[in-house]
Amino acid sequence: MAQKRYPYLAGGLLLGALAGAVAGLLTAPKSGRETRRQMAAKAKDATGRLQEEMDRARGKAKGSYDRLLARLRNLEAKAERKAKQIRGGSGAPA
């Protein structure tokens, strides 16, 4: 029985959303041109903030990458020295 109600529920939700959108447009305090201009300005502002955040994240990621690369190179050098020591190449401690 509950399965039969789901199509009605989905239809009711869709109809309610449509009625709400129409009511919002009819009672809007600003003209369409003003609303579009305001939305465009907000979108441009949001785009600028997003770009700043992306640049900041890119900088942090590059710094982390550079530190990791330096650590890996250091570990590689230590491993090579240890391998030479084990083979009897240099005799110097790692």
pLDDT tens, position by position, 66-94: 999 999 999 999 999 999 999 986 555 55
Give rounded-to-5 percent helix, strand, coil for the chain: 85, 0, 15
Angle at 11 between CA 2 and CA 20, to 5 degrees: 130
Tell me the percentage of the chain whose pLDDT exceeds 90: 43
Q: For residue 28, what pLDDT is reported? A: 76
Neighbours of 84 (CB within 10 A): 14
Distance between CA atoms of 72 and 82, rounded to whole angstroms? Answer: 15
Cα–Cα dist 90/66, whole Å: 30
Question: Which of 18-22, 51-55, 78-82 has the lowest average pLDDT?
Answer: 18-22
Per the CB < 8 A criterion, the answer to whether 85 and 91 are in contact is yes
Specify the pTM.
0.47
Give the pLDDT confidence score for residue 90 in this predicted structure.
Answer: 54
